[in-house]
Amino acid sequence: MDTFKKLKQFFWPYKKYFLLSIFFLFFVTVITVVYPIILQQTIDIVVLADRYELIPYISAVFLLLMIIKGVATFYHQYLGDLFGITAVYKLRDELYNKLQKLSFKYYDNAKTGDIMSRLTADVEGFRFFLSFGFSELIRIVLLIVVSLSVMFYFSTPLALVTMAAMPFLGVVVYQFDKRVHPAFRKIRKSFGRLNTRVQENISGMNTVKSLYREDFEIGRFSNSNDNYRQNYLKTSYIWSKYFPLMEFIGNFCAIALLAYGGYLVVDGQLSIGALVAFFSLVWYIMGPLMNLGFVVNQFSQAKASAERLLEILEAKEDITEENTAINQRIEGSVTFDHVTLTYSKDDDSALKDISFDAPSGKVIGLIGSTGSGKTSITQLITRFYEPEKGEVRIDGRPVSDYQLKTLRKAIGFVLQEPFLFSTSIKANIAYGAPDVPEEQIIDAAKRAQAHDFIMKMPNGYETMLGERGMGLSGGQKQRIAIARAICINPSILVLDDATSAVDMETEFKIQQALKEVMKGRTSFIIAHRISSLKHADEILVLEDGEVIERGTHDFLVENQGTYQRIYNIQYRDREEIMKRQRA
């Protein structure tokens, strides 16, 4: 039960619902056991004694008990559901909150489909046991205890014969639990992998179809689906193996009861009505004991689910905020002091001993081949990752001194691949500052060269977007993302290849607008096009995580290095195109 104890904080505060549910369950159980007693009385007192005038009274009592049982059953089930649903409501909230706090480092290794499976199927599996499993276990115990008490009242020897089979049934149930729990954990893992396969396929459908890899994806899904099937079949095998054995033990007990009970009736030590009641009561014991296998099954599924949920709740938060963190306006000067960054122990360093100063209001350009460390620099400014060595400072303070909210609200970040939400264009632009007036939203869109195409859309700024901005071109998505960054009025602006998805004409317009936006702001521009960096106050040329050149555009062009080589390639091609056009 250690797994459930770790999650106690989520369900124990609502124990009043659970205890009330058990209170009504007690009435249900006692009334259930009264049925065989009424049957015994009917046979021994009414039928055998020819006192049929008592039947109306017995029927009235029986009807009253059924009404009470029906009401008690309703409250037992409703309160049990209320207990489970309320508990997992808080649990699901906490899981989601935890996912928001986990750093990029966690998501580097996590799979979206698996996380979704944990927040849906695993949470539901845990809820089902809270709502039904716990109370079912108590129902079984109550039913056995009350039934045995009545059986001992009727006949102690016959009750002892009945109990003789229980230890064997207990051993079978214990062995069943030992085998079924690991099997259910494998099922949960394979279901998570299956979800991941579906999520990745749907997200990458354009790539799949453009490369004609549908058959390959069908094969991969079929393999994951078959793995899930095999794990479920193994669990079914365990189930099919143990439940007939449980039923055999129960039937053997019933045969022993009829044989020895019949002897006691013939010998005059037991009435016929008591034997009939005894036979009903034995199934009130054997039935729940066999049903214990279902409870163990539920428990194993819930435990496997709970373990997967705890893996999220107990995941280490790499980026934490100290109690002394400050909420202070950020002016925007950035300093890297001998910074080294390694994403994981097995990887090479993404950044190696990087040092530079970006005074407030200056523009820093970052250029280099893919994987050279450009994006890593900007992710350290926002504390998406922590440096392995060295220190990143903003306004002379380590970035860890600031509250995360203060730090990230001061940085407008436009990612290389913009993400838009399935809501209105207006809500997407104002996502980082939901309370800004509409005039500021429109101004941000105009500066990002997005206003014109937005106004041509069916509902203007209220136009609803599809998933991930479906319905917009790459360039339109990029401009809305730029508008979103502008809208928060940041002190630091990070443009991670922000104009890569637009044509040359639109790029020129955006650059002219950004010149106004970048005034008074520290700006970092990651770009592959030198045209986007020419106006930067300093350009850093990176290769394999190191700064190999730095300086202004004019200085680097004359420096006979990597930057000049990139410049020559890009502008030589442009000159050749212009010559062809003139010719």
Domains of the chain in start order, with CATH, are 2-313 (1.20.1560.10)
Mean pLDDT of 207-221: 72
Pick the closest to residue 195 from 234, 233, 236, 225 (CA basis): 225
Mean pLDDT of 190-196: 77
Q: Provide the b/e sequence for 205-235 (b: ≥16 CB within 10 Å).
A: eeebeeeeeeeebeeeeeebeebbeebbebb
- Whether the pLDDT of residue 49 is over 90: the answer is no
Which residues are registered as beta bridge partners of 237?
none
pLDDT value at residue 21: 92
- Whether the pLDDT of residue 575 is over 60: the answer is no
Give the tens place of pLDDT for each residue, 477-535.
888 888 888 888 899 999 887 766 566 676 676 676 677 678 788 999 998 888 788 88
Looking at mean pLDDT, say which of 35-49, 207-221, 450-464 comes out highest: 450-464
Pick the closest to residue 18 from 169, 189, 138 (CA basis): 138
Confidence of residue 239 (pLDDT cuts 50, 70, 90): confident
pLDDT value at residue 512: 67
pTM score of the predicted model: 0.73
Range name among 86-90, 122-126, 187-191, 318-322 with the lowest pLDDT average:
187-191
- Whether the pLDDT of residue 205 is over 70: the answer is no
- Residue 28: CB atoms within 10 Å: 21
Mean pLDDT of 273-295: 76
Please provide the average confidence, as pLDDT, over all residues in the chain: 83
pLDDT value at residue 244: 81
CA–CA distance, 436 with 455 (Å, rounded to integer) = 20
> 46 or 443, which is more confident?
443
Give the tens place of pLDDT for each residue, 368-384.
888 888 989 998 998 98
Confidence of residue 345 (pLDDT cuts 50, 70, 90): confident
CA–CA distance, 418 with 84 (Å, rounded to integer) = 39
- Whether the pLDDT of residue 117 is over 90: the answer is no
Pairing of β 397-398 and β 351-358: unpaired
Find all residues with CB under 8 Å of 131, minimum gap 6, and list them.
80, 81, 83, 84, 85
Evaluate the CA torsion angle 481, 487, 488, 490 in order and state its sign. Answer: positive
- Whether the pLDDT of residue 397 is over 70: the answer is yes
Looking at mean pLDDT, say which of 164-178, 186-200, 372-386 comes out highest: 372-386
Range name among 193-207, 246-260, 295-309 with the lowest pLDDT average:
193-207
Mean pLDDT of 445-453: 87
Radius of gyration of the chain (CA): 36
pLDDT value at residue 212: 64
pLDDT value at residue 155: 81
484 Cα distance to chain centroid: 27
CA–CA distance, 241 with 251 (Å, rounded to integer) = 16
pLDDT value at residue 486: 86
Range name among 245-259, 374-388, 557-571 with the lowest pLDDT average:
245-259
Amino acid in position 406: T
- Whether the pLDDT of residue 145 is over 80: the answer is yes
